[in-house]
Amino acid sequence: MKTPYEQSVYDRATRKIQRIIAREGTADGQRLQPWYLAEIEDEIRQADKISALTVLANQSEPELLPDVS
């Protein structure tokens, strides 16, 4: 059974793959393979880590990250 986070990653990855396939096709079936889903899930996890670290860095050292708003 997947954790809520892992279920979220899976759901986001499948939606992303659906959007890619709708826009660009299956690439001769490559985008339908389990390894492709795993690759997209890894990308999402990496993006989540970077986002979390950015938020943490901004909270602990706000002057390190410029305000771009």
Residue type, 35: W
- Give the predicted TM-score (pTM) of the model: 0.80
Break the chain into its structural domains and give their ranges. 1-39
Q: CA angle 29-47-66, nearest 5°? A: 145
Which residues in the chain land under pLDDT 50?
Answer: none
pLDDT in tens, 6-24: 999 999 999 999 999 999 9
